[in-house]
Amino acid sequence: METVSWATLARSTPGFSGAELANVINEAALMAARRDAEAITQADLEEARDKVRFGRERRSLAMSDEQKKLTAYHEAGHAMLNLALEHTDPLHKVSIIPRGPALGVTMMLPIEDRYGYGKKKVLDDLCVAMGGRVAEEMFLGDISSGASGDIKMATWYAKKMVCEWGMSGRMGMIEYGDHEDYVFLGRDIGRSRGYSEKTAREIDEEVHQIVNGAHERAKKILEENRAKVELIASALLEYETLDGAQVEEIVKHGRMMNPPPKGLSAPSTPTPSESLPVNRPIEKVKDKGGILPGLEGAPAGA
């Protein structure tokens, strides 16, 4: 009898509330019941987790081949950078099956509970976030709105680094102003912010520089690994979902030792009326101040 790994589930649900965790177990039980199975499997739990976190799979969504390709390269870019960089969390899975508002997803799993971030990790995560857009541009010569979640996340981190975390050498160990207002409402809201217009400009420049630096770094690494990105993208187009180990095999050996069985993942019944947690991962960042959001793909219908 198959056993489930609670450790894996726990690692892949950081920031979930008790109610959300209960929801995951409920959903998994429903999936098992629909199959007339006697027990919940690991696959049920992972599908339930993804459904609660990102929304239901939308296999019925009509995607053009071009859109699929764009999503495959976008996610392959994220995945390649995740594997190439030292301080990232291990890759869990990459998928180009539309889910909730996203057309694809690259998921990483932290190894242990995290209560803060090192600068090296934040910079590597920023670089991974740039990978989707960079790969679209590099391989398809076009860019999509699919990077909006990545851009939001990268901006949020860069501002935190400069304004709160003292991670910018230029701006020093100073907390700059009412950061919530600064980040979410803009500076011209009329509140006093405790620093000059000149400092505000310097903060902007520094935030730009951090994000641009991550972008350049992503470009360089993906250029150096062009062939590998191509292999990941074509495997995604063929299999739609790959686990972290399979992507690692492609990068290390140029092929998968254990490719996923084709057409075995059961499509879930689409219910279009279901409400979807739009931008959920980003909200998590705002609320908990330090949980890395998933790297979403393109929001569908955007």
Which residues are near Zn ion by CB under 5 A?
A: 132, 150, 295
> For this structure, is 75 an active site residue?
yes
Residue 150 beta carbon to Zn ion: minimum distance, rounded to whole angstroms = 4
Residue 46 beta carbon to Zn ion: minimum distance, rounded to whole angstroms = 20
Q: Compare residues 48 and 78 and give the one whose CB is closer to Zn ion.
A: 78
Q: Which two three-digit tokens encode residue 184?
A: 């979410």
Q: Compare residues 40 and 218 and give the one whose CB is closer to Zn ion.
A: 218
Q: What is the DSSP letter of 295?
A: E
Residue with tokens 């976030």: 129
Distances (CA, A) of 208 to 139, 142, 168, 205: 25, 23, 12, 5
Q: Compare residues 57 and 150 and give the one whose CB is closer to Zn ion.
A: 150
User: What is the rounded distance in angstroms from the CA atom of residue 218 to the CA atom of residue 239?
Assistant: 25
Residue 161 beta carbon to Zn ion: minimum distance, rounded to whole angstroms = 20
Q: Compare residues 146 and 177 and give the one whose CB is closer to Zn ion.
A: 146
241 - beta bridge partners?
95
Catalytic residue among 75, 206, 240, 296: 75
Burial class (CB in 10 A: 0-12, 13-18, 19+), 125: buried
User: What is the rounded distance in angstroms from the CA atom of residue 133 to the CA atom of residue 138?
Assistant: 9
Give me the amino acid identity at 87.
H
Residue 195 beta carbon to Zn ion: minimum distance, rounded to whole angstroms = 33
Q: What are the catalytic residues?
A: 75
